Amino acid sequence: MTCPKCSAELRIGDYPFCPHGHGSNGIEDATWPGGITFENLGHDPVTLYSPAELKREMKARNLEPMIRHTPGDQHTRSWATMDAQTLENGRILAERQAHSTVKHHDPGPNPHTVAEVKRAFAEQGAL
């Protein structure tokens, strides 16, 4: 196939707009040939054949992938230590929760509003 604007020869995988270039796809393998046996999902080893199957299996077992902090990693923070301000804010929130009580009573919907809504729906149903 040839580009109608610049007459460049296009191949499968080329960027279709000018300027053209050969791209790479970002699709990971959808299967694991031969499967991977996981021994840490439960009491018995489980062999799975795709990342999607692993995700379904973990969801069925109510498991989440473990994320471990590595020093210098920009995507995670160490939970082993916190700054003093965060600890103080946590203490204040916990103390506030311990001493709080419900100080209001929810009376429910206003009866006049309910009657008006019912009337409006009955009117629309009659149209």
Q: What is the pLDDT of residues 68-101, one digit of tens each?
A: 777 788 777 776 777 788 889 888 988 887 777 6
Q: Where are the domains of the chain?
A: 25-63
pTM: 0.37
Beta bridge partners of 37: 47
7: tokens are 């007459």
Distance CA 37, CA 48 (A): 6
User: Tens digits of per-residue pLDDT, 11-55?
Assistant: 887 877 888 777 665 555 578 889 999 998 888 999 999 999 999
Please tell me the chain's helix, strand, coil percentages from 3-state DSSP, rounded to the nearest 5.
Answer: 35, 10, 60
Q: How far apart are CA 82 and CA 87, in angstroms?
A: 7
Closest to 52 (Cα-Cα) out of 86, 34, 28:
28
- What pLDDT shows up at residue 127? 45
